[in-house]
Structure 1
């Protein structure tokens, strides 16, 4: 990797912050490893409090941003507490990188870092991981969901496109599409959340900005609205959404077939951050408080099953 790219990935931490075996987790029990294509990949499992005996539970995969890890995703989103209260399993998978357990990224096609450059098979990793989780935990295979921030949000798009047989819905946050994505084999409900103040993944599209442009491959991003159009077409929805202004939040909903919803939120005062969450680090951008992305995403997810 070029030196500038390494520096860029380090700064991304501030911005976004097969057999399984449990390994040491500084945050407590729950960290596991999965060997995929000869590489040990980590993931952290958080179970709900007092789940009903014999119940099959929803599973939410929460993907960290470029340069982040499971701990940063857990801290930023608050999904662990949400899962414990609402009764679903949360899993924080970790990407790969040049260094062990840091500067981790996902291969979302045109972003980011080492995973993109080495063409890491992250789609295959997630297929194997979901199968492992269904085997090891009381997961309802019809209610598996993926969300993520930034590079993790881009990876959520890719998983929706390539694993529609595994996922019921996706929710990319401050993420984007690039225009060369293939139409998925079947529809997947999608909720997208972007920030109008985002300098790293601009809502208007174009070249990446912020502190880590070298971690992309140079392909310009589409405007955030293109995400809605892509999933509306994939799901057989109406061509244009109904738009509602709710204070600083513009909410665009497409008319879609039952069970295949598409919604896009643009938060006027949100930078490259998880709305309603916390910064990924001391230098991370301050999220908007206009909405709580975790609450919005779970409300969307629990309304959909595959």
Structure 2
């Protein structure tokens, strides 16, 4: 079932509110298609929200803690991307979440979210002319850990994944990844919810989230699987705002933008939040999640990483 909502911002954007029947019940997702329909196949980016967040927030329809952003929908409109944002199911703590492989999480839903996302990909290919060779997944926090799970279980279907403020599970229900993939990861060193060095996840608001490997350990899992060397190309982002107490550095393993690469953006002093050159968090939300970096735009960096990648089965 589909319902359309038109949002303004520079140009009109139409976001479809859709549902799909699954064994666990009705699942909801949002879709934004590019304005142009010239018949050519289009890249698909799937956005996965964090624990307690929503698809509507990622698509700029609603705010989270007073913060609202339509950065991903605006980028998708400009770049001709099919954008899909599925909604996680409500878990035992009353918050929407993903079943992200953590064996020690007591607040994950029991849903088969991998099968749900796979069905969404089928829908995008059949209904929205998505390119089977250009399927990308980006997630933040719990959504980022779900992106890791999709990399393990749907790796052959995906061209690349990206995870922001997310750690690989320390105690996993899933096997170790076996399919090398291009992976983009970003993490703040002052993240109090998903600690940079690993360990127990969560905050006073988020209990029972299990434990994760450290951020650098999480990166190493994918780098070693890809057979990439230990040495990385290092780029320090220019510091743009004098009042910004964070600093960002990008580490890249793999030389070919169209090939197998792993990228890690380390945000010194950064919290449990993406980066933006122009946006800022409301005071209270900043206190809860930590400092936002203003030297880069996360969605721009992720898309620059995604755009030349193709799934191995669709070179």
Establish whether TM, by shorter chain, passes 0.5.
Answer: yes
Conserved in 2, the CA contact under 8 Å of 1:200 and 1:212? no
For 1:44, the equivalent position in structure 2 comes to 30
1:34-183 alignment runs, 5 A limit: 34-51=20-37, 53-75=38-60, 76=69, 78-98=71-91, 103-110=95-102, 114=107, 116=108, 118-179=109-170, 180=172, 182-183=175-176
Q: CA deviation at 1:243?
A: 3.5
* Matches of 2:226 and 2:25, distance apart in 1: 35
Higher strand share: 2
Q: CA deviation at 1:112?
A: 5.8
CA separation of 1:77 and 1:300: change in aligned 2, threshold 3 A: farther
The answer to which of 34-43 and 241-250 deviates more is 241-250
The structure, 1 or 2, with the larger RCO (C-alpha pairs under 8 Å, 6+ apart) is 1
Q: CA deviation at 1:239?
A: 3.5
CA separation of 1:29 and 1:263: change in aligned 2, threshold 3 A: closer
Q: CA deviation at 1:98?
A: 4.8
* Matches of 2:205 and 2:231, distance apart in 1: 33
For 1:30, the equivalent position in structure 2 comes to 16
Normalised by the size of structure 1, how large is the TM-score? Answer: 0.83
* Matches of 1:138 and 1:166, distance apart in 2: 16
The structure 1 segments of at least 4 consecutive aligned residues displaced by more than 6 Å after TM superposition are: 279-282
Normalised by the size of structure 2, how large is the TM-score? Answer: 0.80
Q: CA deviation at 1:233?
A: 1.7
Q: Secondary structure at the match of 1:215?
A: coil
* Matches of 1:244 and 1:177, distance apart in 2: 24
For 1:196, the equivalent position in structure 2 comes to 189
For 1:255, the equivalent position in structure 2 comes to 254
* Matches of 1:245 and 1:42, distance apart in 2: 40
CA separation of 1:282 and 1:167: change in aligned 2, threshold 3 A: farther
Conserved in 2, the CA contact under 8 Å of 1:23 and 1:33? no
CA deviations on 1:123-152 (whole Å, 9 max, x unpaired) are: 111111111111111100100000011111
Does 1:232 pair with 2:237?
no
Q: CA deviation at 1:271?
A: 1.3
* Matches of 1:112 and 1:287, distance apart in 2: 27
